[in-house]
Amino acid sequence: MEFIKITDVEKVYKTGVTAIYGLNLRIKKGDFAFIIGASGSGKSTLIKMLYREEKPTRGEILVGGVNVGKLRNRKVYKLRRKLGIVFQDFKLLPKLTVYENVAFALEMYGLPKSEIRQKTLKAIELVGLKEKTKSYPHQLSGGEQQRVSIARAIVNSPKLLICDEPTGNLDPDTSMEIMKVLEVINDLGTTIIVVTHDRDIVNRLKKRVILLDKGRLKKDYEKGTYDKNEKH
């Protein structure tokens, strides 16, 4: 079953720069895909269109059956409730504990306290931080902070998890630990998209690899690798 369907999509910014040219892409429910390519290849533009920070200039993007390009601004929050987003720089709230950072989004939705507690503790345990619920971000390592970021992104059981350079600030061993967490989440049925420059991770995991080059789809292969001759 296709969860993401991108058809003839083009993105032209107001500056006149074309970031994406005639892109056609299908991602199935439960898939795990890396998006790779050199800086300026269109990776960030693509994922921003998926969570509707940007709109396509032409073409159609369906996420879970929702045409995100035609989604009205006041309805975007409904789309994002179904998505989880993880960034390179964690974006944790420094004055909140691990528990409070993860619970924050659910509190914004106005869920009952008992449900918030159940979901929050489940997400924290899933990323291996059960003993760190009362810690603050400054008391955690970079890898632990990214785990909190992932827990926050999955606390509402999203159907899609988008990770933008999630290991960009981490050492190789910690990076692999983060990827193992993502694999566990994927095994539970969540569709995962990871934008990365990390050649070693792509080559070790051998998941689906989608290569963009100057805004165009250059390669799309199952259990792929980040070839040495490909720029990044």
| pTM exceeds 0.85 for this model | yes
pLDDT tens across the length of the chain (232 residues):
789 999 999 999 999 999 999 999 999 999 999 999 999 999 999 999 999 999 999 999 999 999 999 999 989 988 888 899 998 888 899 999 999 999 998 998 889 999 999 999 999 999 999 999 999 999 999 999 999 999 999 999 999 999 999 998 899 999 999 999 999 999 999 999 999 999 999 999 999 999 999 999 999 999 888 876 655 5
The predicted structure's pLDDT at residue 230: 59
Rounded to 10 degrees, what is the CA torsion of 161, 165, 169, 170?
A: 60
Return the DSSP state at 52: T
Domains located in the chain, CATH noted: 1-82+159-224 (3.40.50.300), 89-157 (no CATH)
Provide the token pair at 114.
């008992």
* C-alpha span between 46 and 35 (Å, rounded): 9
Provide the token pair at 110.
């106005």
The predicted structure's pLDDT at residue 1: 78
Q: Which residue is it, tokens 């969570």?
A: 51
